[in-house]
Structure 1
Amino acid sequence: MASHEQSYKAGRAEGRAHEKGEQMKESMKEKAEAAKQKTMETAEAAKQKTMETAEAAKQKTRGAAETTNDKTKQTAGAARGKAEETKETSGGILQQAGEKVRNAAQGATDAVKHTFGMADADEDEHNYPATVTRKD
């Protein structure tokens, strides 16, 4: 009967081993599924964080661009005002210089006319009052 008892024990051991194997197999499936789920959750969290960071960077860039645009407009306005002021100032200076040149040229013309006797008596009296003697 030893053979029957040994066979029984062997069958029982085989059954336990099979059961233990099934339990381990099921445990591994559960662990794999849990790891897969955790990986998916981590990936989703990383994706969400990346999207939030990208949106924050986008908003920061937009804000910086608006600030730069405003600063550029202010600088351009100030430059435009300064250019207008400089134009007015230089226009006045050029006008004064033009008048001086015109007056100097007129004075030179009058002097040449007077020297060559081409000036009218009224012009001589007006331009050179001390040197003109009238014969009336």
Structure 2
Amino acid sequence: MSSAQQSFSAGQTEGQTQIKAENFVESTKESASAAADQAHAAANTAGETAEQHKEEAAGFLQQTGEQVKNMAQGAVESVKHTLGMDKN
């Protein structure tokens, strides 16, 4: 093989290798971007779910507090009635 042919083949191989490397880098960037997008979407979903559960818990606690308050008022009225202190 002549020196010119060897140089041509080496240049051709180098060019092909460079193209493959650039394609690999671009593919890796796209994969990383897609993974970041998925992570961002998952974080948003988790945040929304946490907010929903927080609101549900607040509603439950408020309802429970009302029930306890009503039971306590009923107990006070019962004791007043038993002791003859009610106004009825």
> If the length of structure 2 is used for normalisation, what is the TM-score?
0.91
User: Which position in structure 2 is the counterpart of 1:114?
Assistant: none
Equivalent residues, number: 85
CA deviations over 1:11-47 (Å, ceiling 9, x no partner): 1111110000000000000000001001101111111
Q: Distance in 2 between matches of 1:28 and 1:4?
A: 36
User: Which position in structure 1 is the counterpart of 2:14?
Assistant: 14
Q: Distance in 2 between matches of 1:69 and 1:2?
A: 100
Pick the structure with greater CA Rg: 1
User: Which position in structure 1 is the counterpart of 2:38?
Assistant: 38
Q: Distance in 1 between matches of 2:18 and 2:51?
A: 49
User: Which position in structure 2 is the counterpart of 1:58?
Assistant: 58
Q: CA deviation at 1:52?
A: 0.8
Q: Please list every run of 5 or more consecutive structure 1 residues that lacks an aligned counterpart in the other structure.
A: 86-136
Q: CA deviation at 1:84?
A: 1.1
The one-letter amino acid paired with 1:32 is A
Q: Distance in 1 between matches of 2:22 and 2:83?
A: 89
